[in-house]
């Protein structure tokens, strides 16, 4: 398949991603926050994520600068990437619906914050970060470029290992025992098989 076809498909998938997030981003801006961990580290993590998951793909989409780093993946590999990202978009929508107004791009506690433990949050604590990982893997396959493809995965690894301990510390501070219990019963991005029976 022609490279341009993959570019159009990727741009469309990305547009859908933005459309799903849009209303939640708007709502988030209007909600009163009672605690914000707007640290320099968190800001840097968000900038890194924007570079890896948005800027690099945009450079690949719109310019020839990264053409020398192309990987010759077979078409079916890239089509698998498209299918994975479509599935991840359904998951993304479900996560946003479940988390509702508790979603925030940085680490925050809102005025009427509830600890969500249902639906996609029943067995894992970080479905949104799992979705980002799946999206980053799909990005590698679809874009098929050493720089623009793998940048998402690289930044996700840094993001996940720095963000999660801070987020869980904030949640434990605010929700106390409730979050500690939730943590015992769930896995981070993969279900905690050993304790999953506690939830059923």
Point out which residues bind ligand SAH (CB under 6 A): 95, 102-104, 107-109, 115-116, 121, 126-129, 167
Q: How far is the CB of 98 from ligand SAH (least distance, A)?
A: 9
Kindly state the smallest distance separating residue 158's Cβ from ligand SAH, in Å. Answer: 16
Sequence-separated (6 or more) residues with CB below 8 Å from residue 2: none
Toward ligand SAH, which CB reaches closer, 102 or 145?
102
Q: Which residue is nearest to ligand SAH (CB)?
A: 128
Task: Give least dist CB 72 to ligand SAH, A.
Answer: 34
Q: Is 176 left (phi over 0), alpha (psi -120 to 50) or beta?
A: left
Instruction: Give the residue from 12, 138, 151, 9 showing the smallest Cα distance to 80.
Output: 138
Q: Is 138 helix (H, G, I), strand (E, B) or coil?
A: helix
- Nearer to ligand SAH (CB atom), residue 80 or residue 188: 188
* CB-based contacts of 200, cutoff 8 Å, min separation 6: none
Q: Please say which residue, 128 or 142, places its beta carbon nearer to ligand SAH.
A: 128
Smallest distance, ligand SAH to C-beta of residue 68, A: 35
Cα–Cα distance for residue pair 128/195, rounded to 1 Å: 21
- Minimal distance in Å, beta carbon 193 to ligand SAH? 19
In the bound state with ligand SAH, the residue whose beta carbon lies nearer, of 134 and 148, is 134
When the beta carbons of 146 and 175 are compared against ligand SAH, the nearer one is: 175
């Amino acid at each position: 398949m022609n490279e341009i076809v993959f570019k159009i498909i990727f741009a469309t998938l990305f547009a859908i991603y933005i459309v799903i997030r849009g209303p939640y981003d708007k709502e988030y801006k209007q909600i009163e926050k009672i605690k914000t961990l707007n640290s320099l580290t968190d800001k840097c993590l968000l900038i890194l994520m924007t570079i890896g998951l948005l800027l690099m793909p945009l450079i690949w989409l719109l310019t020839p600068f990264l053409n020398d780093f192309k990987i010759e993946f077979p078409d079916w590999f890239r089509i698998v990437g498209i299918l994975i990202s479509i599935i991840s978009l359904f998951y993304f929508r479900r996560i946003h619906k479940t988390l509702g107004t508790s979603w925030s791009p940085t680490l925050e506690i809102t005025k009427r914050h509830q600890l969500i433990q249902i639906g996609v949050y029943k067995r894992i604590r970080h479905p949104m970060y799992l979705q980002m990982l799946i999206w980053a893997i799909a990005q590698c396959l679809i874009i098929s470029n050493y720089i623009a493809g793998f940048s998402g995965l690289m930044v996700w690894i840094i993001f996940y290992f720095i963000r999660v301990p801070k987020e869980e510390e904030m949640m434990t501070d605010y929700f106390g025992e409730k979050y500690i219990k939730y943590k015992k019963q769930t896995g981070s991005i993969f279900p905690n098989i050993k304790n999953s029976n506690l939830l059923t």
